[in-house]
Structure 1
Amino acid sequence: MSAPADYCAVGPRLGALLAQRQADVDHAKSKRSPGSLTGAIGEAVKTAGFRAALFHHFATTGRPGVIAEIAGASPLSKVTRSRLDVRDLAEDFRDAGATCVSACQDRRLFRGSLADFKAAKAANLPILAHDVVVDQYQILEARYAGADAIVLIVGILGSQTGDFLARAQSVMLDSIVEVRNEIELEIAIEAGANLIGVNDRNLETLEIDPGVCERLIPQIPLDRVLAVAAGDIRSLADIDRIKALGAQRPFAFRTC
């Protein structure tokens, strides 16, 4: 199956969220230029090795690693938390056995902030920046703030996925390249992704289809790519179901 050059899975609902996120990013750019951020990143500490941590966990335990998510709100839910102690939550997740944690830099959608990455660092686990990435500036923001990896959604970025992936690599960020169908998986593989996320949730309709992971994970070349299952992981049974799809090959899952 060949991916069309203009592939995009953005519908009206998601498109409105992306437009607002781009407006917020443009505002941030007016305060601090991409060049200024790039220069500051040159003085930043080395990243923690997000992908390596997931691989090591599976290699030593035989179990998928957990990327535990910290967010005060979500565009997927009407529930919000007025107060969120990111440091305490990150440490709680670490103590419960999480391999990595995920924090959010966007205030409007997730009630997060760039400061959350620094707070989450107290747990001494690799940090994933969970954002709706529409602009390469967000990659620079996340790296400067202390993230070790970022999520890139093929349904949003389409043919630009490779460019965004290369930008993340240039500042030493790992990338979870997220897909939902065979076309997106092809784009991710051709872009050179070595960490591919399969999301059971349709971001436009918000519906969950467990069959997405079941269909796509076996198609991922797991000899060179780590697979991440996301969307509706809620129980030990879900972990066992996802692990079975990997046939003893390394991958992780993200709580959502």
Structure 2
Amino acid sequence: MAETCHVPDIGRLPDLGPRVSGLVAQRRADVENAKKKRSGGSLTGAIGEAAKTVGFRAALYNHFAEKGRPGVIADIQGASPFTKVTRARLDVSDLAQDFHDAGAVCVSACQDRRLYRGSLADFGAARAADLPILANDLVVDLYQVIEARYAGADAVLLIAGVLGAALSDFVSRAESVMLDALVEVRSQGELALALDAGANLIAVNARDLETMEVDPSVFEALLPKIPPDRALAVAAGGLASLADVETVAALGAKAVRIGSALMAAPDPYVRLHEILGTEPDDLVED
């Protein structure tokens, strides 16, 4: 398979808005610069020496099967192009360990510095918590899938509305290097596209990537339509409380992805406990 695959005309799906189109163009330019420093072929060759991936989807599936409630994917990011939240101080290793201790099933890390204030080194730092890692990136080129695998990710985020008809190529490429693909959707058309691409891990994102506004009705419209025998349903976007988690669980979510609520908190460890309805051990009175 070719090492690059640019975003095609997404046809029956809505056109990308000006803001997201600008972000896509910016990320493409950054990827082209990265290729000049290290080719896709060189990265692909180095994967053979990389550590084996651990099951990202399997961890979420097993948690739900054992606990009967959604497992948390906790985002670690200094910034995001899709929220207004930034975090001045970001110790990836400490945060990953805090999220592990608070009950997260998986974490995310970001390889892009400009949009997410991340780096390839963040994956090694997050690995210290011994949790499966999602590469949280605006993926526009197959190079990024290989880069994520090389960095130490166990899964990669693919946005159906950005990749359009090329989505199946990206899902296949991820599978070829033993990465799980978390495919994000926001509409009926995008959900159909994800299922046609063979996605078995589908996230419904209630946040509009263009306006950054959250619309919970997106959960209501799409989560019940994800066939449980074909894909594990994940809810993402604007989740900030135990009530939110319980609401999406009732709609069919088997996992949740939480980012801005944690990154905006003074103490993300305590905040995750609050969202899970648990209490930090060090705050429990004898």
The answer for the alignment partner of 1:241 in structure 2 is: 247
| TM-score, length of structure 1 as denominator length | 0.95
Note if contact 1:9-1:156 (Cα within 8 Å) is conserved in structure 2. no
1:33 and 2:39 matched: yes
- Tell me what 2:254 maps to: 251
CA–CA separation in structure 2 for the residues paired with 1:221 and 1:78: 33
Q: Deviation digits for residues 68-102 of structure 1, max 9, x if unmatched?
A: 00001122344433431100000000000000001
- Give the secondary-structure state (helix, strand or coil) at the position aligned to 1:198: strand
Give the CA RMSD over aligned residues: 1.3
Is this contact kept in 2: 1:7–1:159, CA < 8 A?
Answer: no
Task: Report the equivalent of 1:208.
Answer: 214
Equivalent pair of 2:83/2:212 in contact (CA under 8 Å):
no
Q: 1:45-84 counterparts in 2 under 5 A?
A: 45-84=51-90
Summarize deviations over 1:165-187 as a string: whole Å, max 9, x none: 00000100001111000000000
Q: Where does structure 1 lack aligned partners over 5 or more consecutive residues?
A: none
% identical equivalent positions: 66
> Alignment partner of 2:108: what SS?
strand
**Residue aligning to 1:90:** 96
Deviates more, 1:72-81 or 1:46-55: 72-81
How many residues are aligned here?
250
1:46 positional shift: 1.0
Select between 62-71 and 80-89 the one with higher mean Cα deviation: 80-89
Unpaired stretches in structure 2, ≥5 consecutive residues: 1-9, 260-286
The answer as to 2:190 corresponding to 1:184 is yes
Equivalent in 152, 170, 173 of residue 179 of structure 2:
173
- TM-score normalised by structure 2 residue count: 0.85
Match 1:13 to one of 7, 15, 19:
19
Quote the offset at 1:148 in angstroms: 0.2
Is the contact between residue 8 and residue 157 of structure 1 (CA under 8 Å) also seen in structure 2? no
3-state SS of paired residue (1:151): strand
> CA-to-partner distance for each residue in 1:85-129, whole Å, 9 max, x for gaps?
100000000000000001111101110111101000000000000
Question: Shift of the alpha carbon at 1:207?
Answer: 1.3
How far does residue 6 in structure 1 lie from its aligned partner after superposition?
A: 5.9
- Measured against aligned partners, the alpha-carbon deviations of 1:157-209 in whole angstroms (never above 9, x if no partner) come to 00000000000001000011110000000000000000001000110111111
Aligned mates of 2:84, 2:249 — CA distance in 1: 31
Write out per-residue CA displacement over residues 33-71 of structure 1, whole angstroms, 9 at most, x where no aligned residue.
Answer: 111100001221210100000000001110100000000
